[in-house]
């Protein structure tokens, strides 16, 4: 059986936190040669390189970042154990890191994440927003627990990750009260020549909308394009044009952005996925998100 030397892990963890062996030595009251020897022994026992030179400092390798995350949890649990035995309340919250693909509508992301914050055990939610490719890299390094996306991961992305479909929704068109009154009549034919605000070209819904426009022989006047869904709705609220958004969020969109529903497009649908590093969902927060999405938010 392989055994982990926790003294070596402590030295590694301290060097990673301090950035240099010299500063770690001051913290641990040990000489630099002793710490260097312990680090070499840890790398030898694990069979991996944990640090690389960065000027006068040391920085973690990709594997080193993974080991550091586990070490951080190990020593955090150790402190919690001591506090518990001494009768001190820990108040420790579960750390839940979520990567949100930047094209996912903010209202959808909020609704999807809310169940995680309602768990009985305290949870510290940490959200990052970036492209799917960058977030998948972070998922592979175990820097994030979950990725929320509007597109699934494919084999072409060469990342070991698993898709969990949370649900799908049709798309609807919204506009200010004045625009809605004007273009609601004879919808969707009324969209031909209508001022329209589109999502960025990288989004799945943009591609679906353009395909639908072509199939219906519609040529809306595109006023602007936005990668940020929230900014698109702000311009829509200002009356710059009609815009498309998930039908499932129609009440929140109308209330928050002071717009009205123009019409629904049943043939254009948007899908949302939870992408994890594990085939089977085990994390309690991910289970809560998946269950609520399928049984409440995206109920047909």
Q: How far is CA 66 from CA 29, 131, 138, 247, 273, in A?
A: 26, 21, 10, 40, 25
pLDDT for 2 beyond 70: no
Arithmetic mean of pLDDT over the chain = 88
Per DSSP bridges, beta strands 195-199 and 242-246 are parallel
Residue 91's pLDDT is what? 59
pLDDT band at 1 (very low <50, low <70, confident <90, very high): very low
Report whether 164 contacts 276 (CB < 8 A).
yes
Report whether 98 contacts 126 (CB < 8 A).
yes
Question: How many whole angstroms separate alpha carbon 24 and alpha carbon 130?
Answer: 33
Mean pLDDT throughout 84-108?
77
pLDDT for 296 beyond 70: yes
pLDDT for 281 beyond 60: yes
All structural domains of the chain: 6-85 (1.10.10.10), 94-167+272-297 (3.40.190.10), 169-269 (3.40.190.10)
Regarding predicted confidence, which is higher, 84 or 261? 261
Residues, the chain, total?
300
Report whether 107 contacts 77 (CB < 8 A).
no
- The full DSSP string for 212-278 is HHHHTT---EEEEEES-HHHHHHHHHTTS-EEEEEGGGHHHHHHHHT-EEEEEEEEEEEEEEEEESS
Question: How many whole angstroms separate alpha carbon 171 and alpha carbon 208?
Answer: 10
Nearest CA to 10 among 2, 27, 22, 1? 27
Residue 84's pLDDT is what? 58
Q: Which residue has the tokens 């311009």?
A: 235
Residue 76's pLDDT is what? 79
For 225-260, write each residue's pLDDT tens digit: 998 888 999 999 999 999 999 999 999 999 999 999
For 160-213, write each residue's pLDDT tens digit: 889 999 999 999 999 999 999 999 999 999 999 999 999 988 788 999 999 999
pLDDT for 282 beyond 50: yes
- The full DSSP string for 47-111 is TS--EEEETTEEEE-HHHHHHHHHHHHHHHHHHHHHHHHTT----PPEEEEEEEETTS-HHHHHH
């Amino acid at each position: 059986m392989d055994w982990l030397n926790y003294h070596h892990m402590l030295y590694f963890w301290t060097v990673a936190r301090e950035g240099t062996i010299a500063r770690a030595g001051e913290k641990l009251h040990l000489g630099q040669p002793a710490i260097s020897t312990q680090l070499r022994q840890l790398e030898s026992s694990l069979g991996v390189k944990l640090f690389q030179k960065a000027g006068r400092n040391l920085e973690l390798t990709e594997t080193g970042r993974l080991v550091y995350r586990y070490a951080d949890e190990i020593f955090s649990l150790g402190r919690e154990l001591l506090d518990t035995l001494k009768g001190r309340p820990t108040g420790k919250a579960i750390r839940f890191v979520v990567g949100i693909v930047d094209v996912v509508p903010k209202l959808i992301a909020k609704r999807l994440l809310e169940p995680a914050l309602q768990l009985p055990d305290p949870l510290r939610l940490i959200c990052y927003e970036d492209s799917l490719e960058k977030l998948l890299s972070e998922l592979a390094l175990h820097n994030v627990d979950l990725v929320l996306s509007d597109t699934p991961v494919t084999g072409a992305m060469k990342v070991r990750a698993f898709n969990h479909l949370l649900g799908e929704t049709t798309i609807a068109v919204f506009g200010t009260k004045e625009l809605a009154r004007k273009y609601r009549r004879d919808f969707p034919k009324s969209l031909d020549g209508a001022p329209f605000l589109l999502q960025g070209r990288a989004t799945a819904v943009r591609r679906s909308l353009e395909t639908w426009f072509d199939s219906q022989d519609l040529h809306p006047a595109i006023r602007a394009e936005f990668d940020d869904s929230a900014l698109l709705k702000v311009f829509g609220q200002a009356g710059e044009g009609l815009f498309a958004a998930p039908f499932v969020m129609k009440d929140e969109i109308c209330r928050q952005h002071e717009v009205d529903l123009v019409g629904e497009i049943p043939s254009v649908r948007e899908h949302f996925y939870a992408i994890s590093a594990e085939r089977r969902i085990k994390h309690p927060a991910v289970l809560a998100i998946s269950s609520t999405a399928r049984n409440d938010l995206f109920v047909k």
